[in-house]
Amino acid sequence: MGPLAGLKVIEMAGIGPGPMAAMMFSDMGAEVLRIERQADATLGIKRPEGYDLLSRGRRALALDLKNEAAVSVVLDLIAKSDALIEGFRPGVMERIGLGPDACLACNSKLVFGRMTGWGQDGPLSQAAGHDLNYIALTGALGAIGRKGQMPTPPLNLLGDYAGGASYLAFGIVCAVLEARTSGKGQVVDAAIVDGTAHLMTSIYGMHGAGMLPGGRGDNILDSGAHFYDVYACADGKLISIAPIESKFYQKFLDLAGLSADELPPQLDQSGWDRGRDVLTRKFKEKSQADWCALLEGTDACFAPVLDMSEAPNHAHMRARGVFITTDGVVQPAPAPRFSRTVPATPTPPRRAASMSLNEALAGWMSPSEIDTLRNSGLTIQA
């Protein structure tokens, strides 16, 4: 089930964007086999197995890749794959005998997906880093935050997942489609700095056109404008408004019971602070629920600010099935949606140690091949 059914992907276990990209493939029906380390790499933020949601929907094999025989097993699996995902520092896969040259030698149509923060080359390519460092270098972090305050880390959504995992997955799909025409695989170098910079294309265009004259927190989209911001209600809960277009702004004013005389001209930047004062007082007149009853579902460009315990229970999210519950764990459903090749509900995350060799390799090896591997003397699933 799913639009990528039949696609086979090897995932070299890692953290952050690599697992996210692998989850995106498995959510869409691809057969993804995760190759785990047998020793704990002490990387990332640890969590219980059932809540390691980026590992959902796929099987896993644990091997000691310092062992040449284990590397040979991986190469055998790569020979049957369409793509590979790895997120190590540049050169690590080459040192263990699984670099692009070795992998493409056993499968000329393989798409070798490489996920890093800084990229495969450049002066920073061998340095450690995390999402915050990568988005800092692109200009994105410096643009996010309120006036007079330090930049605000946007979780690790912008770098790891938007600029990293999404671009890696897109790049691999592009290369797989091309390989079906050319018969040739290739390497996809997906760097978080590249993807995050690309996400900033529109903002860089505005910057170049002189449309962002202020500093951080002074402009339309960064909380500078009174009509694109978050406000507190009478009960302390929050709401968001974003009526950028004049017709939506007027609709907001009408529904909120405000006249144009009470506010500065919408796009007069010198009056935005005064406009914010007016709206701050106005929104404190009613509770969040009252404002929802008045503005939600209209063209006022409005939504309540919900926390992660509230969002799955909102009527719109429930109606669309945006969240699912698997083994008692609430989590986002696969996205996007397809009219015909509908993806299956993801299975719960499981590590290699919690599944048998037969379960892990079903569809990758025949029963006799699995028995041979089991009796080879290699330490597996440990």
* Catalytic residue list: 130, 160
Using an 8 Å Cβ cutoff, are 32 and 6 in contact?
A: no
Q: Tell me how far apart the alpha carbons of residues 164 and 172 are, in angstroms, rounded to a whole number.
A: 12
Provide the Cα torsion 218, 219, 223, 229; round to 10°. Answer: 140
Q: Tell me how far apart the alpha carbons of residues 298 and 251 are, in angstroms, rounded to a whole number.
A: 8
Q: Tell me how far apart the alpha carbons of residues 319 and 338 are, in angstroms, rounded to a whole number.
A: 17
Q: Which amino acid is at 106?
A: C
Q: How many CA atoms lie within 13 A of 91 on its CB side?
A: 4
Q: Tell me how far apart the alpha carbons of residues 127 and 380 are, in angstroms, rounded to a whole number.
A: 32
Taking each continuous run of H as one helix and of E as one strand, the counts in the chain are 14, 11
Using an 8 Å Cβ cutoff, are 275 and 267 in contact?
A: no
Tokens of 239: 């709401």
Strand partners, 9: 32, 83
Strands 229-232 and 238-241: antiparallel
